[in-house]
Structure 1
Amino acid sequence: MKTIEFSNPHRKKHFDFFREMNHPHFNVTANVDISKLLSILKDNKLPVNIGMVYFLSYTANKIPEFRWRIRGDEVVEHTLVHPSFTVSTDVADVFSFCTVDFSLDSKTFFAKAKAVMEKMKTNPSLEDEEGRDDFLFMSTFPWVSFTSLQHAMHYHPSDSVPRIVWGKFFEQDGKTLMPLSVQAHHAIVDGRHIGQFFQDFETMASDPSSIIVKK
């Protein structure tokens, strides 16, 4: 982890401007083509939900600003950020948080995620580890091919952890599309960074075989 110094005065002004807002987060939702990605996951008999967590986390970790976090008057950059995503439980009709240490190696991550998800089904949790902000908050909303999304969150003080949600897949023009929502704190993540996220994800989803470690 390192501290980010804004040497450019305009970039510092941008940070201060959005940090002082009551609602500093912004959200972009768009449909992404996952046709090839789904095919690779199914061919390798890999769970689709874990696959989405892995590929979205992989994409976010490649963009430095998605690893930046605001701590008081400082901004820090984590070496790696880890998905904390929602899973269904066997004990109630509401979800549990499921945090898995991220690994760029897909085989390692899938194994970790399966083990933690099984534990959370019978021992659910809604608490984050105190003092940690090296998360990516993720969720799936598989009932609706949504076109927009709003999150429940603290605004005073606001946190700077990105939120990533994907919805119900649908077919269009021979492709399988997935609604994807990305929300971030505008003081550290700008529109071009979220645009880069969408572009990088779709590029990777079009040729995921080089990243997936086959069984």
Structure 2
Amino acid sequence: MTWPPAGKDSPLPSRFVSLTRTGHELPPQGLTVSPYQDSAATQGRNLPKPQSPRNAMPFTRIDMDTWKRRELFRHFTEVAPCSFSMTANLDITRFRATQKANGLKLYPMLICLIAGAVNTMPEFRTAYRESGELVIHDILHPSYTVFDKESELFSAIWTEFDGNRNAMYEAVLDDMARYGGTRRYCPKPDPPENLFNISAIPWTSFTGFNLNLPRAEKYLLPIFTMGKFFEQGASVQLPLAIQAHHAVCDGFHASRLLEQLQDLLDRGMRDGRYSTSDDLYLGDGEGHTHCLASRK
């Protein structure tokens, strides 16, 4: 996908609603931020152990001497550590109509499309490993929240991203059925390092949403929060907040990701599945894409 998209005069989408920036206090020396540690207390049913991609996690180490973003990275990690949040409305009019007509579930579909958009951009796959290495992961897997109405608690469940949108949709449904309602924060075992977060607040529409992470300036991966969709004239709009670290990306990259996601939303259906192709693609940041192997 070229940037700016054809017919666009500005890289900033018209759906742009709000932008906030959050500074971070420096953490104690040696702090390791890991939001995936499970509680010692275990509730709910016995759960199956999945195949984990933890040991199959290709990445590229960043050479700080040659990395084109090295000065920006050092400024936003050492001089003025900060993240920023951007909230925009996505037009899901066609997407919502097709989803309803085919009996598909909206949230799992959106999880798959967000994962597809994130994996096209290396800026959003840049992270510290648990070892302290700064790398660009080849692939990120989504970790998403599932709400339990009875307990009014949520769980964070992860699903492996393998590039096949249709197969991933079925895998998300399966993981939700297996691990939802356990009243545990991380019920699915063996989460890999290369996860990014998605959550939803389906009860409220919002024009701005920000997560305060005062001691997590080493957490570089994006965080997505969806709001309640609403009608605006003849269209259906979905608010989406992106929380990103300024050390690895700027508003330009967040705007590009929103355009990538809108493009995925606007594509047509084929054979009852939301896709013009069964494949999802990875971008290398230089305008090239690499097709991931399909799983038919």
Q: Shorter-chain TM-score: which interval? A: 0.7 to 0.9
Using the alignment, how far apart are the partners of 1:9 and 1:65 within structure 2? 12
Q: Is 1:122 matched up with 2:181?
A: yes
**What is aligned with 1:4?**
62
Q: Name segments (4+ residues, structure 1) moved above 6 Å.
A: 128-131
Contact 2:75 2:81 in 1 (8 A): no
**What is aligned with 2:162?**
103
- TM-score, normalized by length of structure 2? 0.65
> Helix, strand or coil for the counterpart of 1:95?
strand
**What is aligned with 2:247?**
187
CA displacement at 1:34 relative to structure 2: 0.7
Contact 2:148 2:183 in 1 (8 A): yes
Give the root-mean-square deviation of aligned CA atoms.
Answer: 2.4
Contact 1:22 1:156 in 2 (8 A): no
Give the counterpart letter for 1:99 in structure 2. Answer: W
Output one character per residue of 1:79-118: Cα deviation in whole Å (capped at 9) or x when no partner: 1101101001266211111111113212211221111111
Structure (1 or 2) with the greater helix fraction: 1
Using the alignment, how far apart are the partners of 1:90 and 1:199 within structure 2? 33
**What is aligned with 1:81?**
140
Give 2:172's match in structure 1, choosing from 101, 109, 113: 113
Give the counterpart letter for 1:160 in structure 2. Answer: L
**What is aligned with 1:48?**
106
Using the alignment, how far apart are the partners of 2:209 and 2:268 within structure 1? 27
**What is aligned with 2:88?**
30
Using the alignment, how far apart are the partners of 1:21 and 1:212 within structure 2? 44
Give the counterpart letter for 2:102 in structure 1. Answer: N
Contact 2:61 2:134 in 1 (8 A): yes
Q: Is 1:141 matched up with 2:208?
A: no
Using the alignment, how far apart are the partners of 1:73 and 1:118 within structure 2? 35
Give the counterpart letter for 2:184 in structure 1. Answer: S
Aligned length: 213
For structure 1, the 5+ residue unaligned runs are: none
Indicate the percent of aligned positions where both proteins have the same amino acid. Answer: 26
Q: Which is worse superposed, 27-36 or 128-137? A: 128-137
Give 1:57's match in structure 2, choosing from 115, 120, 142: 115
For structure 2, the 5+ residue unaligned runs are: 1-58, 270-274, 279-296
Using the alignment, how far apart are the partners of 1:12 and 1:50 within structure 2? 36
Using the alignment, how far apart are the partners of 1:15 and 1:208 within structure 2? 38
Q: Which is worse superposed, 51-60 or 4-13? A: 4-13
CA displacement at 1:65 relative to structure 2: 1.0
Contact 1:59 1:201 in 2 (8 A): yes
Contact 2:204 2:228 in 1 (8 A): yes
Contact 1:142 1:166 in 2 (8 A): yes
Using the alignment, how far apart are the partners of 1:184 and 1:130 within structure 2? 25
**What is aligned with 1:39?**
97
